[in-house]
Chains A and B, each alone.
Chain A
Amino acid sequence: MSNSSPALPKSNRFTKHKGAREWQERVIEFVLFLAGFSCVLTTFAIMEILVVESWHFFQTVSIVEFVTSKDWSPLFEPPGYGILPLISGTLTTTAVALSVAIPMGLIAAVYLSEFASGKLRETVKPILELLAAIPTVVYGYFALLLVIPILQWLYSFVGPTLSNIFPAIFPVEMSGFNMLGAGVVMGLMITPMISSISEDAMRAVPNMLREGSYATGATKLQTALQVVFPAAISGIFAAVILGISRAVGETMIVAIAAGLQPNFTFNPLDSAATMTAYIVQVSLGDLPHGTIQYQSIFAVGLTLVLITLVFNILGYFLSKRFREIY
């Protein structure tokens, strides 16, 4: 032991238990470390499984076809393996969801953080959190059996006219499965998450900045939008990026309500399959291990992970770039 001088007798009462106790502490620390390391292993396992199965997949299918063809029909003869239709479905539903969730989430966050009384905030926040906790399969039901019928009814007033003018974009009747309905419900689902994280970021802005703004004669809205919002922008970016990855990875709502036919389109009124919906569709059937269709879901999964990774990296740099020290 470095800190006990050699002159001390072995049974000194200060050193007697030191060895055993240190050994015990080290074992505990090592066990805890292993638990933490399981996360690293999980990431590696995910990448290993996805890459290995995708590797087998790309032995049969050329990568060029995969990323450029607009035909995704692995379950038909002849099969097509172009992932673009699945990507267009994913991006369209995500865009619809975000155009609902970003304005709603941010308005709610600004209101709760800067306008609402403490009491109202403490009441509303947990209820909004409940909205985020409802299982996605229930949201799927909600989209298919409530929201889409309402949208269809609303569309029946404008659809015939619009389809006369722009027949390529607007169908006469809205289909019972479409990306608009799925996207809107997805947006409602991620609104509380965006609102809650942005609100936390805005509440973390020190009060002295608000007072500085009020002292110059600013209104609440001016203070909120011109001082608090910019000061919290890094956290708000993080919330939006999290919302995007949630929307890109969301499965059940789109599997239930967006239809399952791959369709290369960015028109939200169409029905289409997303990457996640395709994985579910294949998994529902009984595909034997080792077939090309079985491998295809891993290739799609790998694409999905890479896309969310891109968004996460983007978010990381955005928050870093705009991180403010107040």
Chain B
Amino acid sequence: MVEELSLPKLNFPTTDLKAEVQDLDFYYGTSKALKNVNMSVPARKVTALIGPSGCGKTTLLRCFNRMHDLYPGNRYDGQIMLDGINILDRKVDPIEVRMRISMVFQRPNPFPKSIYDNVAYGLRVQGLTKRQAVDEKVEQALKSAALWSEVKDRLTESAYALSGGQQQRLCIARAIATDPDIVLFDEPTSALDPIATASIEDLVNELKQQVTILIVTHSMQQAARLSDYTAFMYLGELLEFNQTNVLFNQPAHKRTQDYVSGRFG
């Protein structure tokens, strides 16, 4: 047996847990991509998922909003508990899950619509039709995404007129407009330049006052800068999960140490 399996469960003080992953296995067809993952997602904190490419960090993230349901042949085994409900249960509608757990993607993916319509999209599909209410929510979301001052005079312009960094902030506005409980970030800065990256990181720091954030990143510096908690994943397993400063400074596992000190990955 591999040593990592004997890892102790959470060993840090947690006050408020938003979600909890319990004995999660995940299969792409017959290949097992996640092996017995257990972790907690503390409320209104930033939790980072790090690890070498192919370790399953994005796979784990996409379990949270059931993105894997979109493609045939995928199978979950285990639970992710949110408010006492296992959101991976077949009887739970993935659409309801996604209404409460929204997502920001690796590359900015605004819809070919106006800036306003992009942010309003989630509200509208969820049934909010009153013009005034939508207006308010859109403005609020764009302000939270630190984009309002840049776009308030051109809300009807196409979202493609924005720069890459602005597009990503627009996608963040889209994700938070519906007041989700958790926002998932899948390497949100990997397609951006350093300046745009800095502005997104500032934004993530701001947002954690309001929502719980789960972020996948390939950059250890980013994890160290942004997150309160960090999970290190390796070959589909969660090797170590701890407060970020503990994980980076006193890692319990040799592999974690090798990775965070840049020896592999």
Contact = CB atoms under 8 A, between A and B. Distances in A.
Direct contact of A and B (CB under 8 A): yes
Interface string A14-55: 000000000000000000000000000000000000000000
Contacts of A222: 125
Interface residues of B, number: 27
Contacts of B67: 211, 214-215
A212 B105 contact: yes
A212 B109 CA distance: 7
Given A211-B105, A217-B99, A326 B175 contact: no
Contacts of B262: none
A218 B121 CA distance: 9
Contacts of A226: 121, 124-125
Contact of A117 (B72, B124, B174): B72
Given A208-B109, A209-B111, A231-B112, A215 B103 contact: yes
A230 B95 contact: no
Interface of A: 117-118, 206, 208-219, 222, 226-227, 230-231, 324-326
A230 B174 CA distance: 18
Contacts of B109: 206, 208-209, 211-212
B111 A227 contact: yes
B111 A217 contact: no
Given A211-B70, A216-B122, A326 B95 contact: no
B121 A230 contact: no
9 contacts: A208-B105, A212-B109, A214-B98, A215-B98, A216-B98, A216-B102, A217-B98, A230-B113, A231-B111
A119 to B, nearest CB: 9
Interface string B92-104: 0001101100110
A211 B58 CA distance: 14
10 cross-chain pairs, A with B, having the tightest CB-CB distances, nearest first: A216-B122, A217-B99, A215-B103, A324-B112, A218-B125, A208-B109, A217-B98, A212-B109, A222-B125, A231-B112
A230 B70 CA distance: 21
Contacts of A230: 111-113
Interface in B204-247: none
Nearest to B69: A214
B262 to A, nearest CB: 30
Interface of A: prevailing SS:
helix
Contacts of B95: 217-219
A218 B123 CA distance: 10
A213 B113 CA distance: 12
A303 B121 CA distance: 46
A216 B178 contact: yes
Contacts of A215: 65, 67, 98, 102-103, 105, 175
Contacts of B65: 215
Given A226-B121, A230-B112, A216 B175 contact: yes
Nearest to B101: A215
B171 interface: yes
A217 B175 contact: no
Given A211-B105, A226-B121, A217 B178 contact: yes
Contacts of B125: 213, 216-219, 222, 226
B107 interface: yes
